[in-house]
Chains A and B, each alone.
Chain A
């Protein structure tokens, strides 16, 4: 019900409002409702997806025991993940001494045996003398003589004096 004051305000103030009221008052065509109903009947009805029975209120999935177990599982997963990250992020302790680790043995008990073969390492070719050295020269090294030359008085052979 429109209030009286409002009704008075809504008296058509102009020719335009009269026209609008005329248009607004035009009757709907015959059989409109039937056509709309028919259209609705033909319209494809997409079936709504429904929750599974387990998620319905009062099902076992909503029991306190299941909820507690689910909460515990979530806590375990979160704590485990956190520990895993923490253990990876930890910095290693500084080494106190130079430790050389030996390379791992290749082969071993489970692999092929060496059949007692000894590996001889390749060595460099030794020096080859072209001239043979004399035994006298070998007895008197040049260096020794040079040393004695530094003190000629001591080194010089003393003449044997007759007694």
Chain B
């Protein structure tokens, strides 16, 4: 009798967890994909990262109830996954990045030439971002997501909010220097 009650309880609990997980996928998959794409810059890799994120959540579904902010928690998981993948992956050739960007960036009202030039420009900017030190680059990339506050960015990176602000300040200064240099060379 007690065992039967326990089995029913287990089944109910599993259904509840599955429902919660499904709701998390519906709610946050898109954000996670965008975060993954901003680091990996490849659609298939970003989707794989999202899938891996939710598989990890499934493995630790017992702790779902203890998480305060699911969004920050999920972004933190996907962030660690994509950084790990980026570290392991070989450096992709610049031409591949440019062609990918030309395909995915919005190009309404642009001619083919203008679209190619815009893709070239964005690829060069991303290359400059990649040349920043890791700490500053990470803050700069995450700050591009308007829905993330500096407190949330601090939560994702595991640092204080003041660290986020100072890193962002340094990143902007470094970027300004990097952008000025090619102009002065011209």
Main secondary structure of the interface of B (DSSP, over half): helix
Q: Which residues of A contact B43 (CB under 8 A)?
A: 29
Q: Choose one: A10, A28, A36; the contact of B143 (CB below 8 Å).
A: A10
Residue B71 interfacial (CB < 8 Å) = no
Does A6 interact with chain B (Cβ within 8 Å)?
yes
The yes or no answer to B80 lying at the interface (CB within 8 A) is no
Q: Hey, which chain B residues are within 8 Å of A49, CB to CB?
A: none
- Which single member of B10, B34, B35, B122 contacts A19 (CB below 8 Å)? B122
Summed over the interface, the residue pairs from A and B with CB atoms below 8 Å come to a total of: 112
Partner of B172, one of A13, A28, A29: A13
Quick one: closest B residue to A38, CB to CB?
B51
- Quick check: B21 and A16 within 8 Å, CB to CB? no
Does more than half of chain A's interface fall in helix, strand or loop, or is it mixed?
helix
Partner of B25, one of A3, A13, A37: A37
Report Cα–Cα, A16/B127, bound state, in Å.
9
Residues from chain B with a CB closer than 8 A to the CB of A24 are: 34-35, 38, 141, 144-146
Does B37 belong to the interface (CB within 8 Å)? Answer: yes
- Of the four ranges (under 10, 10 to 19, 20 to 34, 35 or more), the interface on chain A belongs to 35 or more
Instruction: Please report the C-alpha to C-alpha distance between residue A40 and residue B175 in the assembled complex, in whole angstroms.
Output: 41
- Within A102-128, the residues touching B (CB, 8 Å) are none
Q: Decide if A2 is an interface residue (CB 8 Å cutoff).
A: yes
Give residues of chain A (1-42) contacting chain B, Cβ–Cβ below 8 Å: 1-3, 6, 9-10, 13-29, 32-33, 35-37, 39-40
Given A40-B25, A40-B58, A22-B33 contact (CB < 8 Å): no
Nearest B residue to A20 by beta-carbon distance? B144
Given A6-B150, A24-B38, A53-B3, decide whether A40 and B140 contact each other with a Cβ distance below 8 A. no
Contacts A19-B122, A43-B58: A28 and B34 contacting too (C-beta < 8 A)? yes
In the assembled complex, A163 has its CB within 8 A of some CB on chain B: no
Is B158 located at the chain interface by the 8 A CB criterion?
Answer: no
Interface pair A19/B25, CB less than 8 Å apart: no
- Count contacts on B: residues with CB < 8 A to the other chain: 49
| Given the contacts A13-B172, A20-B129, A28 and B179 also touching, CB distance less than 8 Å | no
Partner of A32, one of B50, B122, B175: B50
Given contacts A17-B140, A17-B144, A20-B141, contact A36 B54 (CB under 8 A): yes
* Candidates A2, A10, A27, A39; contact of B54 at CB < 8 Å: A39
Indicate if B104 sits at the interface (CB-CB under 8 A).
Answer: yes
> Sorted from nearest, which 7 A-B pairs have the closest CB atoms?
A20-B144, A19-B125, A28-B30, A28-B33, A24-B144, A16-B125, A19-B122
Task: Please list the residues of chain A having a beta carbon within 8 angstroms of any beta carbon in chain B.
Answer: 1-3, 6, 9-10, 13-29, 32-33, 35-37, 39-40, 43, 45, 48, 50, 53
